[in-house]
Amino acid sequence: MKQVLLLLCCMFLFTVSAQKKGKDYSNILKSNNIYEINAFLRDAHPDDPRRSVLKPRVMEMMKEYIKNAHPADQKVKDMQEMLAMLKRRPSTKITFDEMNAIIKQKQIAKYKAELAAKQPTTVYTPSTAQNTFVVNAAANTAIPNAEAEEFNMLMAVSPVEHKNKTVKILNSLFDNDPNAKECIVLIQNKSDCNIIVRMEGVGTTKYRLAVPAQGEGSIVIEKGQYLFTSLVCGAQYASQKTIQRPIMVALGSQ
């Protein structure tokens, strides 16, 4: 009997804990925070009556923000995109497939621009200071980063190599054939360190992609099982992934 009571108490505490971890929208009608209201519209039930009040409110708040924002404010573009979505749908919530399509279109525009300009839209300049050292917290010393030279080598591609890679990526982005043997992988580096992402498949199938700090990179690889590894600002990253369709991987986002 004691064991049953103990089990019930544990279940109760777990339920209370889970509820506390969830978002509390009990005072959402009093909110004047764009992001909080936007989150509510994404999470709330479609029939929640508070939607009819909060959706028009947040749209007006977004219009006001855009109107009064500084010309260099980077949030304006996000606000404009959210406002456009709210005009067409109940919230800014999107499915994985929709997100994937948006990323795909942005990548197509980026690489088309590079081909038209006959050079990368983002020019990388090797830095002797950035990513040359990582800090070993345990020893409280700086140790040479063995990947710095390799990173610079991977980034220093010739114009011909860059054009060939860009054409291959564009072909992959436009290819909707489910039977295709290759697909594209997009890596977003949200950290402040340059990184090399290594993708190890079956046998000798291996790829590596250099991605600058706060930047992104794309690579076309054969479909299959891969172990993704990287050193992100001194921290090890490893993840097993099945690549059967284009994916995006964000690193250093914590």
CA pair distance 111, 218, nearest whole angstrom: 10
Side chain identity at residue 119, one-letter code: Q
Segments of 103-212 assigned E as strands: 133-136, 141-144, 182-189, 195-200, 206-211
| pLDDT over 60 (residue 229) | yes
Dihedral sign from CA coordinates of 53, 58, 63, 68: positive
CA pair distance 108, 218, nearest whole angstrom: 11
Element (H, E) at 251: strand 247-251
| pLDDT over 70 (residue 146) | no
Mean pLDDT score, 145-164: 77
Q: What is the pLDDT of residue 167?
A: 79
pLDDT tens figures, 82-129: 999 899 999 888 776 676 677 677 777 777 777 777 655 555 555 544
Q: What is the pLDDT of residue 207?
A: 93
Mean model confidence pLDDT for the chain:
77
Q: Residue 207 in contact with residue 224, Cβ under 8 Å?
A: no
- The residues pairing with 136 across neighbouring beta strands, listed in sequence order, are 141
| pLDDT over 60 (residue 56) | yes
- The SS3 assignment for 45 reads coil
Domains, the chain? 26-87 (no CATH), 98-251 (2.60.40.10)
pLDDT bucket at 59, cuts 50 / 70 / 90: very high
Q: What is the pLDDT of residue 206?
A: 92
Higher per-residue pLDDT: 164 or 84? 84
Total residues found in the chain within this entry: 254
CA 58 centroid distance within chain: 25
CA pair distance 78, 7, nearest whole angstrom: 47
| pLDDT over 50 (residue 76) | yes
